[in-house]
């Protein structure tokens, strides 16, 4: 197993001004290629911090990948630091100088001395030519450890990783095949799930499969991982067999795989079956419509929603029956179902969803915060589910939205 | 200066399945409180990795903050690892057990042995009670270094950081008084802004005020920071004076301060003036409704929206005039304004917003992706703005939504 460490250089990461998406992107690529990322660190752009981080990482990993601190400005000191660390002399790289000159000429911008200096490279590294920008990547090797430095601009780093770094890594190291499989569940808590699949989980070790639980509001992802224990085919077969067993145990909770979302799964089902969708939202306030329309091409099946946030809008615009509202109150299963049926007929769709309840953060009219009814109306009739959630408004809105979409999904099975 | 290190535990971070937003959130809070984050690391959820990372960080920092690995399942081993590291015994914490029991009873879910075990706490730590979930935070102290462990679920971590950790950090350490002031601008690019305020910015150094530009879709935040140069009052006075100057230069672009959002500012204006709001959304697909209803108490002023995502819904449900649609097409200023006026009259509100256009990622019917019309109708009449955005669907939806809300805000001045 080849271990890698990622070091992201930049104060903006430490003060939280920039979220470190580079490390996640690199982690995905490395992991998919059979390199295990053991640690990812963000450090300040100071010489000492960089030297210490590279030195520490080199003790633990065979591959150390740095991003950031290679720009033309004063505060970018990575190249100088690495020169000192690897005992390099800086020399002009003619190909880089030509490229940088051309880069500025093409944009009609003046080329400054600081830009010229970007063509200076350490004499004991392999230059990784950056065709997306002016700062080159650098590949050093010392005591069997490979240290690669790349710019921090995401699309420049991504270019260098894909075109220059990974092909060299594949040549330089023996890489095993790593297989992951992610199974998405909804409507069941992490601990309840763990209890249900305990016996199954106990058998995974024998197949050298590692299981991870990844919870997020209203859903838990289960990820099986096999790290090079056998050929790629053997590993895939073992994981597929375990997946089949798992689906027999908790199949009812599984709504998707890999990068699916509840809205993408519902979109796919509706599109495949040539069915249309609309909705009436009260407490979710447009979130379901937003989740659906975040899917590219959702206009193929989604007609629209009524966000009826006031009693007046429910009566006059959606057309809810006033006596039903008085009899059952707005916080009821009957009103949720009636809202779904009204949306279905108003928008003339096959399916419609509806929500009503108390999103929070406090109780309303004696109804406990987090009490939310989600309903659907469709070709097979209407269904309603009452949710008892917590007092976090954002979380309740998201969980209720996904629960409503899940009702539609389940209607297909 | 107090140095901190953040350690995020979880394989999902290393394989890039989850982007580490916790570290950025914590970095912002710590930095604003006068604690300097020197390093942020993501590590695997293995005992050795955790022990080594905590031990290394304790050599360099006075405050080590861990997140993750505290869930009820088998792959969560942080608590056990910290017990070994700090030589603790696990004991039942009755308050936690009561809270967890109540948590499950309230949701009508069975409480399992794994949940009961979440009430086990090390006997030599201060328990930080997690009122947002079942896994407690733990505050250890050894050789003058504070080590805090928190769950990785963002809103649980955020609760513990705000309510439990930071107040204790402020008591335990001498923190310098750091004053920040954030001014929020919309509808103006970062470089144009920088050019406009260049002379003003040059004067900040004399006051030992540092300026940061924090761009996000459709807005740029300007943050002035003063790091302990004088008493708190002196620093505040200097920043207030500079803010006054700044507002004289770019006041027209400033929509709020600190943690304001465009929707919270609009909500405040409508509430203060006792005015009501509704909308008709096409390409933003419910996002504006969602932004508004994310504000607690928005039912005070917000009546509802029509998400009319199909031509049919625009005609039959919203009531758009068919000949106008044929003459001008759905992608036009006239239709955007008519949609706003229809929403205003259908929902009987003082203000209404509307959107139509191509969210992307590709051109539609010869209309360039990112071409979006946002309109409002209100007591002072109707207004429309055409936006020319890029081809990123999520970004376009968000930018158009905020632009529509900004039209309402500007109508008050």
* Whole-angstrom distance, CA of residue A359 vs CA of residue A284: 7
Pair of tokens at residue A169:
């890594």
Tokens, residue B327 = 């003459």
Residue B410 class from Cβ within 10 Å (0-12 exposed, 13-18 middle, 19+ buried)? middle
Measured CA to CA in angstroms, residue A402 lies from A302, B107, B284, B387 at distances of 16, 18, 19, 31
Euclidean distance between CA atoms B404 and A306, whole angstroms: 19
Is B302's CB within 8 Å of A309's CB?
yes
Residue B370 distance to chain A (closest CA, Å): 14
- Residues from chain B that touch A210, judged by Cβ atoms under 8 A, are 11, 75
Q: CA B394 to CA A294: how far, in whole Å?
A: 7
Give the span between the Cα atoms of B264 and B257, in whole angstroms.
11
Per-residue model confidence (pLDDT) at position A150: 96
Measured between CA atoms, the residue of chain B closest to residue A30 is B15
A303 contacts in chain B (CB < 8 Å):
309-310, 312-313
Q: What is the pLDDT of residues A341-364, one digit of tens each?
A: 999 999 999 999 999 999 999 999
CB contact under 8 A, B288 and A286: yes
Distances (CA, A) of A262 to A218, A314, A390: 10, 27, 21
Considering only the beta carbons, identify the residue of B16, B24, B347 that sits closest to A24. B16
Q: Residue A35 and residue A306: Cα distance in Å, rounded? A: 49
**Sorting pLDDT into bands at 50, 70 and 90, what band is A365?**
very high
Residues whose CB falls within 8 Å of the CB of residue B67, separated by 6 or more in sequence, listed in order: B6, B7, B8, B9, B22, B26, B149, B150, B151, B152, B157
Question: φ, ψ for residue B366 (rounded to 5)?
Answer: 75, 5
Instruction: Tell me what pLDDT residue A266 has.
Output: 98
Average pLDDT, integer, range B116-145: 94
When divided into structural domains, chain B yields a total of 3
Domain check: are A308 and A271 in the same one?
Answer: yes
Which domain-ending residue is among A157, A172, A187? Answer: A172
Of A313, A345, A370, which to mutate for an interface test with B (greatest number of B Cβ within 10 Å)? A313
How many angstroms away from the CA of B366 is the closest CA of chain A? 16
Contacts of residue B31 in chain A, CB cutoff 8 Å? Answer: 14-16
Chosen for mutation from B158, B307, B320 (greatest number of chain A CBs closer than 10 Å) is B307
In chain A, what percentage of residues exceed pLDDT 70?
A: 99
Report pLDDT for A118. Answer: 87
Same domain for A195 and A301: no
CB contact under 8 A, B214 and A17: yes
Compute the distance between CA of residue B145 and CA of residue A279 in angstroms, rounded to an integer. 54
pLDDT (tens digit per residue) in A116-171: 888 999 999 999 999 988 889 999 999 999 999 999 988 899 999 999 999 999 99
**Nearest C-alpha of chain B: how many angstroms from A22?**
9
Q: Is A17 left (phi over 0), alpha (psi -120 to 50) or beta?
A: alpha
Rounded-to-10 torsion of CA A281, A287, A293, A298? -50
DSSP conformation class of A207: G
Query: Which of B214, B303, B307 has its CB closest to that of A309?
Result: B303
CB contact under 8 A, A24 and B26: no
Question: Which residues of B are less than 8 Å from A392 in CB distance?
Answer: 132, 155
Say whether pLDDT at B229 is over 60. yes
Residues A24 and A153 in one domain: yes
Chain B residue whose CA is closest to A53 = B39
pLDDT class of A75 with cuts at 50, 70, 90: low
Q: How confident is the model at residue A48 (pLDDT cuts 50, 70, 90)?
A: very high
Within 8 A of A317 by CB-CB distance, chain B residues are 304, 306, 346-347
Q: How far apart are CA A229 and CA A177, in angstroms?
A: 8
Asked if residue B211 and residue B143 are part of one domain, the reply reads no
Q: B69 to chain A nearest CA, in Å?
A: 10
A35 pLDDT more than 90: yes
Assigned token pair, A194: 């763990």
- In chain B, the residue whose alpha carbon lies closest to the alpha carbon of A216 is B153
Q: Give the mean pLDDT of A208-233.
A: 89
Domain finish residue from A209, A228, A257: A257
Tens of pLDDT, residue by residue over B342-356, are 999 999 999 999 999
Integer angstrom CA distances of residue A29 from A43, A57, A97, A158: 22, 19, 30, 10
B312/A213 Cβ within 8 A: no
Does B144 score more than 90 pLDDT?
yes
Per mean pLDDT, which range of A85-94, A135-144, B129-138, B207-216 is the poorest?
B207-216
Distances (CA, A) of B324 to A168, A237, A338, B280, B321: 61, 60, 33, 16, 5
Task: With cut-offs at 50, 70 and 90, classify the pLDDT of residue B403.
Answer: very high
Structure tokens at A101: 């000159």
Picking from A2, A4, A15 by the largest number of B CB atoms within 10 A of its own CB, the best residue to mutate is A15
Work out the average pLDDT over A290-319: 96
Q: CB-based contacts of A125: which residues, under 8 Å, 6+ apart? A: A82, A86, A88, A138, A139, A140
Residues sharing a CB contact under 8 Å with residue B405, sequence separation 6 or more, in sequence order: B262, B263, B266, B288, B291, B292, B353
| CB–CB contact A313 B278 (8 Å) | yes
A261 pLDDT band (50/70/90 cuts)? very high
Give A261-266's long-range contacts (Cβ < 8 A, gap of 24+): A261/A291, A262/A186, A262/A219, A262/A291, A262/A402, A262/A405, A262/A406, A262/A409, A263/A291, A263/A292, A263/A294, A263/A295, A263/A405, A264/A295, A265/A409, A266/A292, A266/A405, A266/A408, A266/A409
What's A221's domain CATH number? 3.30.70.2860
Q: Which residues pair with A304 in a beta bridge?
A: A278, B308
Query: Would you state the pLDDT for residue B281?
Result: 98
Mark yes or no for CB contact B313/A347 under 8 Å.
yes
Same domain flag for A43 and A78:
yes
Mutate to test the interface with A, among B17, B158, B314, B342 (most CBs of A within 10 A): B17
- Packing angle, helices B393-410 and B262-272, rounded to 10: 30
Q: What are phi and psi of A238, to 5 degrees?
A: -65, -40
Residue B150: closest CA among B266, B319, B8: B8
Contact between chains at B393 and A37 (C-beta distance less than 8 A): no
Shortest distance between the Cα of B300 and any Cα of chain A, in A, equals 9
CB contact under 8 A, B42 and A41: yes
The percent of residues above 90 in pLDDT, for chain B, comes to: 79
Smallest Cα distance from B351 to chain A, Å:
15
Residues 6+ apart with CB under 8 A from A123: A88, A89, A90, A91
Note the pLDDT tens digit of each residue in B62-116: 999 999 988 777 667 899 999 999 999 999 999 999 999 988 888 888 888 888 8
Which residue is it, tokens 């971590």? B157
pLDDT, average across residues B336-340: 98
- Concatenating the DSSP letter of every residue in A87-120 gives T--EEE-HHHHHHHHHHHHHHT-PPPHHHHGGGE
- CB contact under 8 Å between B40 and A13, yes or no, is yes
Same structural domain for residues B125 and B213? no
Give how far B51 is from chain A: nearest CA, Å. Answer: 13
Region B158-172 average pLDDT? 97
3-class DSSP state of A215: strand
Q: Are the Cβ atoms of A20 and B20 closer than 8 angstroms?
A: yes
Query: What pLDDT is stored for residue B74 in this prediction?
Result: 62
Helices (H) and strands (E) in chain A, counts: 17, 17
- Of the three residues B241, B257, B273, the one that is the final residue of a domain is B257
The pLDDT of residue B256: 97
Residues B236, B149 within the same domain:
no
Distance of CA A51 to the CA centre of its chain: 31
**Best-predicted range by mean pLDDT among A70-74, A80-84, B131-135?**
A80-84
**DSSP letter (8 states) at residue A10:** -
Q: What dihedral angle (degrees, nearest 10) is formed by the CA atoms of B37, B38, B40, B44? A: -130
Q: Please judge whether A41 and B44 are an interchain contact, meaning their C-beta atoms are less than 8 angstroms apart.
A: no
Q: How far is B247 from chain A (nearest CA, A)?
A: 23
Tokens matching residue B177: 């008084």
Which residues fall within 8 angstroms of residue A76, CB to CB, at 6 or more apart?
A45, A69, A70
| Burial classification of residue A333, based on how many CB atoms lie within 10 Å of its CB (0-12 exposed, 13-18 middle, 19 or more buried) | middle
DSSP tag of A347: H
- A74 pLDDT tier (thresholds 50, 70, 90): low
Task: Write the residue in B37, B115, B346 that is nearest to A15 by C-beta.
Answer: B37
3-class SS of residue B229: coil
Roughly how many angstroms between the first and final C-alpha of chain A, as a whole number? 42
Residue A326 and residue A406 in one domain? yes
Smallest CA–CA distance from B19 into chain A, residue: A24
Kind and range of the H or E run holding A190:
helix A190-196
Q: Are residues A401 and A267 in the same domain?
A: yes
**Strands (DSSP E) found in A270-399:** 277-281, 302-308, 351-357, 371-378, 381-388
Do B189 and B153 belong together in one domain?
no
Residue A215 to residue B71, Cβ atoms within 8 A: yes
Residues A377, A314 share a domain: yes
Spatial distance between the Cα atoms of B175 and A381, rounded to a whole number of angstroms: 62
**Range(s) of the domain holding residue A276:** 262-410
Give the domain CATH number at A397.
Answer: 3.90.950.20
Question: Nearest CA of chain A to the CA of B411: how many Å?
Answer: 24
ipTM for the complex shown: 0.83
A37, A39, A290: residue with CB nearest B15: A37
With beta carbons less than 8 A apart as the criterion, state whether B37 and A15 touch.
Answer: yes
User: Are A147 and A294 in a shared domain?
Assistant: no
The domain that holds B26 is classified in CATH as 3.40.980.10
Residue pair A37/A28 in contact by the 8 Å Cβ criterion: no
Tell me the average pLDDT of chain B.
94
- Taking the CA of residue B303 and the nearest CA in chain A, the distance in Å comes to 5
Residue A360: phi and psi, rounded to 5, are 110, 180
Q: Among B28, B74, B308, whose Cβ lies nearest the Cβ of A15?
A: B28
Q: Where are the beta strands (DSSP E) in B266-301?
A: 277-281
């Amino acid at each position: 197993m080849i271990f890698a460490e990622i070091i992201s250089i930049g104060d903006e990461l430490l003060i939280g001004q920039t979220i470190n998406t580079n490390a996640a992107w690199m982690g995905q690529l490395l992991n998919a290629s059979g390199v295990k990322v053991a640690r990812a660190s963000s450090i300040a752009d100071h010489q000492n911090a960089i030297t210490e981080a590279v030195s520490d990482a080199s003790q633990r990993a065979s591959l150390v990948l740095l991003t950031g601190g290679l720009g033309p400005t004063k505060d970018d000191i990575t190249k100088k630091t690495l020169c000192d660390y690897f005992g390099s002399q800086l020399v002009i790289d003619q190909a880089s100088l030509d490229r940088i000159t051309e880069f500025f000429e093409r944009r009609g911008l003046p080329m400054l001395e600081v830009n010229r200096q970007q063509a200076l490279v350490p004499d004991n590294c392999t230059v990784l030519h950056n065709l997306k920008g002016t700062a080159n990547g650098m590949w050093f090797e010392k005591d069997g450890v490979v240290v690669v430095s790349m710019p921090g601009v995401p699309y420049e780093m991504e270019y260098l990783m894909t075109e220059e770094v990974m092909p060299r890594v594949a040549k330089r190291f023996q890489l095993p095949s790593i297989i992951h499989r992610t199974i998405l569940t909804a409507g069941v808590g992490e601990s309840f799930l763990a209890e249900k699949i305990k016996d199954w989980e106990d058998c995974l070790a024998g197949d050298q499969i590692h299981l991870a639980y990844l919870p997020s509001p209203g859903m838990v992802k289960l990820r099986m991982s096999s790290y090079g224990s056998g050929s790629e085919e053997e590993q895939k077969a073992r994981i597929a067999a375990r997946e089949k067993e798992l689906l027999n145990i908790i199949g009812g909770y599984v709504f998707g795989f890999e990068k699916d979302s509840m809205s993408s799964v519902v979109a796919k089902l509706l599109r495949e079956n040539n069915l249309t969708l609309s909705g009436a939202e009260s407490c979710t306030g447009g979130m379901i419509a937003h989740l659906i329309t975040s899917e590219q091409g959702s206009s193929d099946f989604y007609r629209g929603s009524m966000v009826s946030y006031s009693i007046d809008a429910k009566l006059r615009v959606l057309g809810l029956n006033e006596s039903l509202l008085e009899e059952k109150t707005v916080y009821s299963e009957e009103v949720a179902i009636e809202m779904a049926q009204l949306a279905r007929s108003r928008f003339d769709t096959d399916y419609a969803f509806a929500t009503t309840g108390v999103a929070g953060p406090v109780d309303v009219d004696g109804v406990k915060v987090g009490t939310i009814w989600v309903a659907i109306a469709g070709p097979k009739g209407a269904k309603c589910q009452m949710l008892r959630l917590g007092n976090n408004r954002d979380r309740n809105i998201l969980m209720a939205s996904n629960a409503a979409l899940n009702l539609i999904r389940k209607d297909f099975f």
